[in-house]
Amino acid sequence: MSENLYEVKELFFSYSLGKQKIEAIRGLSLNIPTSALVTISGPSGSGKSTLLNILGLIEPAQQGTVIFQNEDIGSMGEKRKNQIRKFQIGFIFQQFHLIPVLSAEENVRYFLSRQKLPKNEIEERIEESLQAVGLWEHRMKKPSELSGGQKQRVAIARAVAKRPHVIIGDEPTASLDQKTGCEIMEILANLVAARKSSVILTTHDAMVQSFSTQNFHIQDGRL
């Protein structure tokens, strides 16, 4: 068994735009260890989001291999991929993606309800995850009553409540000010330390990179 969470070998990915082919990832290889806070940096258009979508099993690799926890993603069926996305990967986004009509607590519960857990475990996980991000006191508030940083904390709680093996975030601090972004990074770093889960983020920001245990800089779809 490998210690790596991901092993990416000779990955290629291109988009078709009419007759044009845009090569977003061009022969990229990297290993992502478990229990790490990994950042992927690089200029705009360098392929960060594309790579993250592949790691999140949202886009398939077109060439090359991606191994997730010793299992080749390329040979997984849709059912297996759905199962992994649902139970093992937590997602956070730049724009939070909360459901506006639901309170913080309901936002976490809504996503957990898909997991078919016993009711008491659902409630336990909701409290645990909202406590972990320091938002338990604000659990009845709707997103419109929360600041940007608090919204992102709800989104993190929602991801954490799954007890995923990895949390993946595409520039999750990009719409926050530096101080708030820094608080979010502290929460994520604590999660990695306390739960031995992994976090993988894309970023432009040196502050975010400073929290990483490992950074991969990509340019033109290559390391």
Ligand X SMILES: Nc1ncnc2c1ncn2[C@@H]1O[C@H](COP(=O)(O)OP(=O)(O)O)[C@@H](O)[C@H]1O
46 binds ligand X (CB under 6 A): yes
How far apart (Å, rounded) are the C-alpha atoms in residues 46 and 48? Answer: 6
Residue closer to ligand X (CB basis): 181 or 221: 221
How far apart (Å, rounded) are the C-alpha atoms in residues 5 and 20? Answer: 34
Which of Mg ion, ligand X, none interacts with 215 (beta carbon under 5 to 8 A by kind)? none
Residue closer to Mg ion (CB basis): 49 or 215: 49
DSSP 3-state of 77: coil
Alpha helices in 56-118 (DSSP H): 78-87, 104-112
Nearest-approach distance from CB 212 to ligand X, in angstroms: 16
With CB under 6 A as the contact rule, the residue among 39, 41, 49, 129 that binds ligand X is 49
Nearest to 170 by CA among 85, 38, 5, 53: 53
CB atoms within 10 A of CB 17: 8
45 binds ligand X (CB under 6 A): yes
17 binds ligand X (CB under 6 A): yes
How far apart (Å, rounded) are the C-alpha atoms in residues 99 and 113? Answer: 14
215 binds ligand X (CB under 6 A): no
24 binds ligand X (CB under 6 A): yes
What residue ranges bind ligand X (CB under 6 A)?
15, 17, 22, 24, 42, 44-50
